[in-house]
Chain A
Amino acid sequence: MIRVLVADDSETILLLMRTRLELAGYEVETAADGQEVTELMQSGVPGELPDLLLLDAMMPRKSGIDALRELRAAGVDTPALIVSAHQDATDADAPSDLEVSGFVNKPIDFERLLDSIAELTS
């Protein structure tokens, strides 16, 4: 089963994402901020690590962008989607060293999101 790690500081959004992704057949792990993401990724058992990261760009303690920067520096190359509340964040906004696979704008168009996830994890 494909694992997706979702990080967002809103529990409601996490619940929404989990329900929607599980309905689509994914296994979902959640994190409340970037700190939890890096900890999970670094302490996880190899082979049981997420296949995809879905990170909110703005979170307290550590943002999705900062978490991804640390992970990339540590050699983690898991594909990552950044969720942004900016209306028209585009791939061009991402620092090139982050290897962001794409941007997801809020409110989330789930059909498009599920298409992207399927494509990135196939």
Chain B
Amino acid sequence: MSPSLANRLRIGFAIGFAVLTAMAVIGVGRFIQQRQDFEDAVARSYQVEMGARVRLAHGDGNRQAAEATVAAQGERREELRDQISADTRDTTLLVAAGLIAGLTGALLLFSGLIASMRRPLEELVDAAGRLAGGDRSARVQVGGLSETATLGAAFNEMADELEQEASQRDRLDRLKDEFVLTASHELRSPLTSVQGFAELLMLERDTLTPKQVETVEIILDNCRHLVRLLNDLLDLARSDAGRLAITPAPTEVGRLVDDAVRTMRAQTETANQALTQSVEADLPPIDVEADRIRQILVNLLTNAHEYSPEGASIEVTARAIDAEVEIAVTDNGPGIPESQLEHIFERFVRGDAGLTQRVGGTGLGLAISKSLVELHGGKLEVDSTPGIGSTFSFRLPASSR
């Protein structure tokens, strides 16, 4: 059992108090005793002198002896006075020395206590800093006072629990990622069949009634939606697991924009939306994985298309800013309320329009686009004013090659 701080303080105070009281009692007692002795001796001396003076006045006895006695008693009292002032000084010095010794002792005791707390506290502060910094193995070996030892043990227990929870969480995360990867993989075969047979039916659409054609088209639409969902989930699971990798190569921005716009053309035309592009001349190439940037642009364009009303305008722009290329998708749709802006990059978060209109998105597009832009060393940003429109943009460094 380690000594406790409280007990040490108690003992320290008790010893200090006892020493100081003892010094005071001894000092004052001695002082009084010396004074008493002095006064007794002076009184006796006066008595003896008085006796001698009486004998002188009566003229009896040896006159010379009596005079000598009177003189001797005068000297004796001088001596006594010298003696008492010396004694008083000694006693005062003794008491002062005692007080100083007591105070010095108390000071040493307290500085000892502080020193014995300082090391454990420093160790705790250091370990807490490491733990907060993510070092889950941070532990302390604190002895000394029982309070710091208890604190150290509690810290270690807390760190143990944190470490256990963290490893449990890591395990669950891995399981989740594995699950998504496996599920997305396993769902592909049946999906292949459903989509494949629906396509087979469409190959013979001449033999189908319009109602049947419509039905098959709905099946195919939903197949495509499922594929998108599976691909998006897979991308996110890979991104979470740190396994979403890109193979960048110098790429012409104009071609990327062309491809994305071409992919979206049919859909925007159906909605009577004007899809335009404005790519600055002489843009430097960027180091990217072309498929991934196309995926981002198609995601952004799909959102602009689906959330904007019929007849809206959508524009893709690309321009050079210093050594970077900024690509932006702007629409004059309904815009995004400020309260939703900070959440739109989260998973499965969809704008109000997505809940009310027929919007085919998965709610994962922006989350994936954000990860993909970041994987390329950029940042996906949004600027939106309700009633005016939205702009999603990102900048990527120009290729150094």
Contact = CB atoms under 8 A, between A and B. Distances in A.
A12 B193 contact: yes
A43 interface: no
Contact of A85 (B189, B197, B199, B200): B189
A46 interface: no
A23 B203 contact: yes
Contacts of A16: 192-193, 196-197, 200
A118 interface: no
Q: In the complex, which range does the number of interface residues on chain A fall in?
A: 10 to 19
Interface stretch (B227-235, B262-270, B331-339): B227-235
Contacts of A87: 184, 188, 230-231, 234
Interface string A99-116: 000000011101000000
Interface residues of B, number: 20
A12 B199 CA distance: 14
A23 B203 CA distance: 10
A106 B191 contact: yes
A51 to B, nearest CB: 22
A106 to B, nearest CB: 4
From B186, B189, B200, B227, residue with most partner A Cβ within 10 Å: B189
A20 B196 contact: yes
Interface string B176-192: 00000000111011111
B192 A107 contact: yes
B195 interface: yes
Contact of A107 (B185, B196, B200): B196
B20 interface: no
A110 B189 contact: no
B349 interface: no
A19 interface: yes
